[in-house]
Structure 1
Amino acid sequence: MPNGSYVVRSGGNHRVYVCNERGIDNIRAKVGTYMKKDCLTNEELDKHENYEVELSLLAKKIRIEKNVELKAGYEDQQADLIKNHKEWLLQIYYEKFD
């Protein structure tokens, strides 16, 4: 955050939410690739939304899990899903815009 007091992890809309809550009008962030949702077919949009739902469910499991080994397993699943999602989005991006 601009004042150096906070760190917000990547993914989702955490940065936007915190900026809105704190009245911050700018934030440094890395943006890999983005495209308008209307560039996606209905099937691609459904698949993207399915990734988002799965990631949200895993994030919830990670937050509430007390068993360290199970939590680590969920974190591994989350990392794999994020990687697969990013690779899939890049593939679509290059198919449409390269």
Structure 2
Amino acid sequence: MASRVFPVVRFIIKGSLAGAAVYVAYDQGLLGNGNRGAEALKKARAALPPAIQEWTNYAGWELPSTPKFDFSVSESWNTGVQTTISALSVAPTRIREYTQDGWKYVNDLIK
């Protein structure tokens, strides 16, 4: 009986954690547009360092200072989308070229 219950309990726990992660991401605005994501990143930048510092003081550890990043989520997202769409638009041409090169190589090996 226990061998059947354990996988079900494990599945329920994993599903609950995944659902909670999606809910928190949605609640914090990470699944919205780029501006909401940038706002959420700013809130995280403001909240995390004091929380980490408090936890490390409690644990007695000393961490190095965090590096400063000038990072725009919306620009990075747009660049990623543009790069992906560009790659998809030239994919048929590239596949045809690589196929022709491959056949030429195989024909040269056979001769």
Higher helix share: 2
User: Based on CA coordinates, which of the two structures has the bigger radius of gyration?
Assistant: 2
Query: TM-score w.r.t. structure 2 length?
Result: 0.28
Query: TM-score w.r.t. structure 1 length?
Result: 0.31
